[in-house]
Amino acid sequence: MPAYAVYAASKHGNMYSSLGDTWNFTNVPWEIGADFTAPTCAACHASLLVAGAGDRQEVVAARSHQMNDRLAWRIFGLVYAHPHPLSPDTTMIRNKAGLPLPTELTGEPAALHLIDAREQKERTAKMKKICSGCHGGNWVDGHFARFEETIRTTNEMTLTATKILLAAREKGVARGLAQNDSIFNEPIEKMWVEEWLFFANSTRFASAMAGADYGVFANGRWYLSKNIRGMQEWLDLALQQKEETRK
């Protein structure tokens, strides 16, 4: 998971590297701008945060031990970014095809098992309030608009890769579940996994954590595009070889 690498490359991570030894990590509650001046993992996801002091102190975020309380999207690990599961017991999740996945292979969410749009909006509002402790409203809104766009584009590119893989199976140059075979053992399948597990996920993390450079160069957008081209070339060559063996 690239979370630390993205954080280290971001402006927030640079501030932590240069100023973190001056921050007060023991105060409860944690006062924004006084105890720390850039977010950490805990600040964004778990800590009790306040703004101001004394009678004017305002609770910005309640303490939580559920790390996705402030997260609308589950962006790591699976084929497509999707709303967070309703239950921490994800073993009950099945898509329409009966697979233990929170989306269909074409990206549609298994909505019965995931939080709805209203809950997503509430969770985003919680995170935006934390961001607003240091940033103006325009910056915060712009950041989340870019993040939502990143989710859309990475899901679209993953779908493009999925369609190439499905075409390879339909045309008989790759095998999958329908042939009682592994879905991870052929070159085009491994490229498909790289598309979402490494490249799409890295791009999403970089967008979520304001680590833009990482999202382009380190397993990011460049590789998303390059890998799709590689999958298509593999399919074209496999079909050409199949045709030649028929002659």
Confidence of residue 178 (pLDDT cuts 50, 70, 90): confident
pLDDT at 26: 94
Check residue 72 and give its pLDDT.
96
Using the predicted structure, report yes or no on whether residue 61 has a pLDDT greater than 90: yes
Q: How many CB atoms lie within 10 A of CB 103?
A: 23
C-alpha R_g of the chain? 21
| pLDDT on residue 179 | 86
Give the DSSP H or E segment for 166. helix 137-170
pLDDT (0 to 100) of residue 225: 95
Q: What is the pLDDT of residue 1?
A: 65
pLDDT reported for residue 236: 97
Whether the CB-CB separation of 12 and 210 falls below 8 Å is answered with: yes
- pLDDT-based confidence at residue 149 (cuts at 50, 70, 90): very high
CB burial string 225-246: b at 16+ within 10 A, e below: eebbebbbebbeebeeeeeeee
pLDDT, one tens digit per residue, over 11-46 is 999 999 999 999 999 999 999 999 999 999 999 999
Q: What is the pLDDT of residues 194-245, one digit of tens each?
A: 999 999 999 999 999 987 777 677 888 999 999 999 999 999 999 999 988 8
Render pLDDT for 67-123 as a digit per residue (tens, 0 to 9): 899 999 999 889 999 999 999 999 999 999 899 999 999 999 999 999 999 999 999
Q: Based on the number of CB atoms within 10 Å of its own CB, is 32 exposed (0-12), middle (13-18) or buried (19 or more)?
A: buried
Q: What is the mean pLDDT of residues 156-179?
A: 94
Q: What is the pLDDT of residue 182?
A: 86
Which domains are delineated in the chain? 3-67+116-246 (1.20.850.10)
pLDDT at position 45 is 94
What proportion of the chain, given as a percentage, has pLDDT over 90? 79
